[in-house]
Structure 1
Amino acid sequence: MLNFELRGVEVTLHAVRQDAPPKIVSVGYELIIDTDEAEQRLALLHTNVRKYGTISNTVAAAARLDGTIRRKA
């Protein structure tokens, strides 16, 4: 969709669980992208993941979903 060039992706997740009733109440994530793409393209990738991503949309429908994207150092 974006013709985004990348060499790799790392994903870090942190979920918060509620005990009663048992459920996941929030998920935080960090996407680390190994790419030479411009910063605005990196931000556009994040926007598209949040807007069109099947997994992100499914999780966001059930729990708070917050995250960041950054370039691999």
Structure 2
Amino acid sequence: TLVERDHPLMGSMRLVRSPAKFNGESLPVAGHAPAHGQDTDQVLADFGLSSDAREALKAAGAVA
């Protein structure tokens, strides 16, 4: 089945509900995918890149 969810950038979207049920209950619909580049800064920071290094990569167009 389909379920409607609001996406912060794309508006209303139809998503597929999981067909799996446990004890007669459907699984919750997962949230929307992150926007392109939304988590880039945090991922690069987790890899140990400094703020200056992250900004340099963005300025060079190497990351979003």
Shared fold by TM > 0.5? no
1 or 2, which has the higher strand percentage?
A: 1
TM-score under structure 2 length normalisation: 0.24
TM-score under structure 1 length normalisation: 0.22
Which structure would you say has the larger RCO, counting Cα contacts within 8 Å and 6 or more residues apart? 1
1 or 2, which has the higher helix percentage?
A: 1
Q: In terms of Rg, which structure is larger?
A: 2
